[in-house]
Each structure stands twice: as C-alpha cells, then as structure tokens.
Amino acid sequence: MIRKFYDTDYGGGYSSPQVSIKNPRFQNIHKVSDIVDTMVKGLKKEWVTVNMDTYGMSSGEICFGCAATNTLCELMQRPFTPGEVELETKRTKAINYGISMIDVHYFERAINSLRLADLGAFLDYLEMIEDTTGVVITPSVKSKVTSYIRNWHFFARLLPKLHTQNYKIDLKYYEKFRDWLVRRGL
C-alpha cells in the first residue's frame, strides 16, 4: 500500500510543504523544482557518461547512464562504480539508507519521464513512491502543479525531449522550467 502524505503529516516548519524528506540522500529535495534542478545538475556534471538509452551499463571502467542515473549520482554526490551501475538492485544498495528497490525504480522512471517531457507521467511516478526516499508528492501538490499546467501537450512542446545527442544544448529549457516552478513556489 502506498502511503500518501498530506499537509498535516509534515513537520519541519514549512508553511507550504511540498515533499516529505526522510532520507539523507534526498534531504535537499523539498519541491518539484528541486527534483528538476537535481536532474539538471546531474546531467551537467555528467557523473557517468550520458547514454539516454540505458539506466546503467559499463564498459571496462567507464560507466554509462541516462538522466535518472546522473540524478541519482547527484543525490549521492559520487558516480556509480562499474559494479554498481548495471543492476537496479546494486544501484539501490549504493544509494543505501534503506530506500526500497521499488522506490528507486519509480524515481528513475519519474526522471526518465521528465527528460522525455512527459510531465503527467513524471508526477504519476513521483506519486507512486512510498516514504522510503522521502520524495513523496502530496495530492494537493500534484493538483496545484497540474492546475498551473492545464494543457500538458502544449507545455511539453516547450520542453524538448532530452536525448544523448541534444541534452547539453536543451538543458537550458529544463532550467527555465525549474525557474518557472520556483517562481510559483512549486
């Protein structure tokens, strides 16, 4: 069963809490904009060589991964090793702190949906995450975000899909999207 957090469940003194934080790896994620920002930072640092066609693989000592893989590396503040990157179970163990594999799975799918400009699926996957990561979207936050972006198809046209070949050029649109979310307190 998925536990949903409601505004009354939050502590920490936030006047308008967005995301419940329980895990140290996810301690800087308080809003949807923080998730977008973490993806952008991870891709800019290129913790592992970007290949949007895989969640993780290696060739010798070189690790490859997509936006989700680099986002997880940004949260860990280190790259995955070749022994960690290839399997979801090993990526989950590397993140540590008791995060369930299913939550890592949904978080990776959320980031992949974001990089594909599928904002509806991005929020849906975030909503599926249980509370082992602390990244839990409240129904009120999802409603607020979707009310700002009534026409997903129109907004998605403004966000290009990030692919291995274009992500460096097109990250600026995700930075603008992050800034748009920040201005709205999301």
Separation of alpha carbons 156 and 164, rounded Å: 19
pLDDT band at 136 (very low <50, low <70, confident <90, very high): low
Total structural domains within the chain: 1
For residues 107-126, average pLDDT: 90
pTM for the full model?
0.80
Q: Collect contacts of 9-17 with beta carbons under 8 A, ≥24 apart.
A: 16/185, 17/138
Within a domain: 165: yes
Say whether 171 sits in a helix, a strand or coil: helix
Within a domain: 147: yes
**Is the pLDDT assigned to residue 152 strictly greater than 70?**
no
| Each residue's pLDDT tens digit, 64-110 | 999 999 999 998 899 999 999 988 888 888 877 667 788 888 889 99
Within a domain: 40: yes
For residues 23-48, average pLDDT: 87
Within a domain: 154: yes
Within a domain: 3: no
Per-residue pLDDT, 64: 96
Question: How much is the CA Rg of the chain, to the nearest whole Å?
Answer: 16
Within a domain: 10: no
Per-residue pLDDT, 18: 45
For residues 88 and 106, the answer to whether their CB atoms sit within 8 Å is no
Mean pLDDT over the full length of the chain: 78
Per-residue pLDDT, 28: 74
For residues 125 and 113, the answer to whether their CB atoms sit within 8 Å is yes
Angle at 20 between CA 15 and CA 21, to 5 degrees: 110
Tokens representing 106 are: 């949904």
pLDDT band at 119 (very low <50, low <70, confident <90, very high): confident
Separation of alpha carbons 137 and 51, rounded Å: 28
Query: 29 lies in which domain range?
Result: 16-180
Within a domain: 11: no
| Each residue's pLDDT tens digit, 168-181 | 999 999 999 899 88
Percent of the chain with pLDDT over 90: 41
Within a domain: 122: yes
For residues 133-147, average pLDDT: 60
Separation of alpha carbons 71 and 45, rounded Å: 10
Per-residue pLDDT, 149: 61
Choose between 112 and 9: higher pLDDT.
112
